[in-house]
Chain A
Amino acid sequence: MTPISQVTGRAIPFGLKNVDTDIIIPAAFLKTITRSGLGKGAFQAIRAEPGNIFDNPTYAGSPTLIAGDNFGCGSSREHAAWALLDLGITCVIAPSFSDIFSGNAFKNGILTVVLPQEAIDRLMEVARTDEITVDLETQTVTTPFQDRFSFEIDPFRKHCLINGLDEVGLTLARDAAIGGYEAKAKGSLPFLAVVEH
């Protein structure tokens, strides 16, 4: 997973509340065999409208999305996180997130930042003209205009995001312990340790 410590760039001033996972990625896209490529289905209904914010060239390639309350509610589909990543979004700022979505986002290396509505309002305003910087090390969101908003994050999640550790990566770091188990099992449970054929 790509380590993430600072996200700087334009942010999409989306702002919508209660964006569910069906809005992020409709069910029709769930039969895919890949994680990549889901960007084409992301926010499909919204993007069907001409002049929508996602297809506005000003925000093309923005790494950050600013959203309203309860972002990512609905089904548990991990496809929602995959779709955002495919759009190039690695950070979402909102007043609150659904638990499952923020878990899935974290698993995929997306930083979710919770800030109060006043801060969101101010960031929405700045995002229309200027870049925004999200710094995970210092846990702050700053603008070129001396705005500085601090946010909370679980220390374990912070550690994983900064070091690019996903759950698989974390377990892979326990390689010695796993190898130790395998060596021991070869002696004590040889019939399980290998498959004869």
Chain B
Amino acid sequence: MTKHPRTLYEKIWDAHVVETRDDGTSLIYIDRHLVHEVTSPQAFEALRVSGRKVRRPDLTLAVPDHNLPTTARLDGAGHRLPITDPESAQQLAALERNAPEFGVRLIGATDAEQGIVHVVGPEQGFSLPGATIVCGDSHTACHGGLGALAFGIGTSEVEHVLATQTLLLKRSKTMEVRVDGTLAPGVTAKDVVLHICGTLGASGGTGYVIEYTGSVIRDLSIEGRLTVSNMAIEHGARAGLIAPDEKTIAYVKGRPYAPKGEAWDKAVDWWHSLTSDAGAIYDKTIVINAADIAPTVTWGTSPEDTISISGSVPAPEDFADASKQEAARKSLDYMGLTPGQRMVDIEIQNVFIGSCTNSRIEDLRAAAAILKGRRKAEGVKWAIVVPGSGLVKAQAEEEGLDKIFTDAGLEWREPGCSACLGMNPDKVPAGERCASTSNRNFMGRQGPGARTHLVSPAMAAAAAVTGHLTDVRDLSEA
């Protein structure tokens, strides 16, 4: 019997089909479920009301991150400090009550391992190559950087997974985004994915699972791959995938929840088979040349509004279709920008280095390399560095990165989502600009009226130093 060549997505899908129905939907088994405080309370409540249990609490991991303040969580005597916003406090309390009641493992707000779900999952070895992973958060695609089929779900689906460990799904189309060549110095994983956002557009990936391939992706570290896959949702894709390789296997090995002994050997064998077969057919392929990717920034209010740092703010008339022209007009108005203005002339009042896109140790090292021996500019009023987890924080402190940040005038915070979304106290004031390493520049995302420019960690650090958007390559020699 010959088997047709399969893509990575098809292989993972096929391995997880519980059953397929007449209407073409399949019941898909979910290997790992990450839970946080914002999208889970009603799901747990529904289980309680109907007297249902969590089917596989052992495959479920809860950790608060979204609205937890990133200021100190304990006072001098080691007592927990209260959360002042009553709604945030209530959601956190609900998670702390629900997890033990349903037997779900909880990494608590003051535990050393606490952090952003999408940083904690891979770091703990809870997220694995080839696994199906869900979380009530749209950036779950992040785990695709390990070669996991990972995607965000709504609260009703959270309940469905808790109760049944499955989801009813229709197979997605597949798209290959191949990035060939070698990146120029100063160009990072974030620039790659911002460039892809610009090329594909915010909805270019709708209906697809994207597999990122090519020499550039292969050359990226695991941290870099997580950054790329994290933003798959920003081109509308259901999920992002990067085939696991020796780097992935080395990354997973020895992590707390990673398989051990015989199971490990079996896992490695299977992971070696997780590549798209030669001759496998994608529904669509996009090829990008690394030479075309510069340090990239956004000028508008959609992640597709990207431009090289050496470019200028576009005019609405530069866009072909009328709806995009209208969107550009609105964006420019909201962002307070004038067509033709050079990107490097845009002044910045806030800098945010963090979020599940760019808060891993490598991101902090990249920012520190720029900030070392420098100070933030006068005009930069607020600049914070928020590690993705307590373990990243500890590692950074061991390397002395925290010192570099504070010496440069930046604040060093506790782990969490922070200024990525205006749900906790870390907000960008209305009308002010922020060079941000997060993933969304939507209107009001970082706070009402906040103006976001998405950048890489090194570019955020460079903006902090000069007080305006800056080509990091002009700074690194200093």
- The interface of chain A, by Cβ under 8 A from chain B, is 1, 31, 33-36, 78, 107, 167-168, 171-172, 174, 177-178, 180-182, 185, 188-197
Contact = CB atoms under 8 A, between A and B. Distances in A.
Contacts of B29: 178, 181-182, 185
A34 B19 contact: no
Contacts of B263: 190-191, 194, 196
Interface in B237-279: 256-260, 262-264, 266-267, 270
Contact count band on B: 35 or more
Given A168-B159, A171-B163, A177-B19, A35 B260 contact: no
B257 A196 contact: yes
A172 B164 contact: yes
Interface stretch (B125-133, B364-372, B380-388, B464-472): B125-133
B49 interface: yes
A192 B258 contact: no
A107 B270 CA distance: 39
Contact of A178 (B27, B159, B260): B27
B323 interface: no
Given A35-B42, A174-B18, A167 B160 contact: yes
A191 B130 CA distance: 10
Contacts of A35: 42, 45-46, 49
Interface in B1-53: 15, 18-19, 27, 29, 31-32, 41-42, 45-46, 49-50, 52
Given A31-B87, A189-B270, A196-B260, 9 more contacts: A33-B42, A34-B45, A35-B42, A36-B45, A36-B49, A171-B166, A172-B52, A177-B19, A195-B126
A33 B166 contact: no
A185 B257 CA distance: 18
Given A34-B41, A171-B163, A191-B266, A107 B156 contact: yes
A101 to B, nearest CB: 14
B155 interface: yes
A34 B42 contact: yes
Nearest to B163: A168
A190 B164 contact: no
A196 B164 contact: no
A171 B94 contact: no
Contacts of B90: 33
B165 interface: yes
B58 interface: yes
A168 B52 contact: yes
8 contacts: A1-B50, A168-B160, A177-B19, A178-B55, A182-B165, A188-B15, A191-B259, A197-B257
B267 A191 contact: yes
Contact of B128 (A31, A168, A191, A197): A191
Contacts of A34: 41-42, 45
Contacts of B257: 195-197
B59 interface: yes
B91 A33 contact: yes
Question: What is the interface of chain A mostly: helix, strand, loop, or mixed?
Answer: helix
Given A78-B156, A167-B156, A195 B59 contact: yes
Interface of B: 15, 18-19, 27, 29, 31-32, 41-42, 45-46, 49-50, 52, 55, 58-59, 87, 90-91, 94, 126, 128, 130-131, 155-156, 159-160, 163-166, 168, 256-260, 262-264, 266-267, 270
Q: Give the top 5 A-B pairs by smallest Cβ distance, nearest first.
A: A33-B41, A191-B259, A191-B267, A171-B164, A181-B18
A59 to B, nearest CB: 26
Given A36-B49, A168-B160, A178 B18 contact: yes
Nearest to B167: A171
Contact of B164 (A107, A178, A185, A189): A178
Contacts of B59: 195
A112 to B, nearest CB: 18
A107 B155 CA distance: 13
Contacts of A190: 259, 262-263, 266
B27 A174 contact: yes
Contacts of B27: 171, 174, 177-178
Contacts of A171: 27, 160, 163-164, 166, 168
Greatest chain B CB density within 10 A among A107, A185, A196 is at A196
A189 B15 contact: yes
A185 B131 CA distance: 12
A172 B166 CA distance: 10
Nearest to A107: B156
B124 to A, nearest CB: 9
A87 B78 CA distance: 45
A36 B44 CA distance: 12
A40 B263 CA distance: 53
Nearest to B130: A192
A174 B155 CA distance: 21
Contacts of A177: 18-19, 27
A194 B87 contact: no
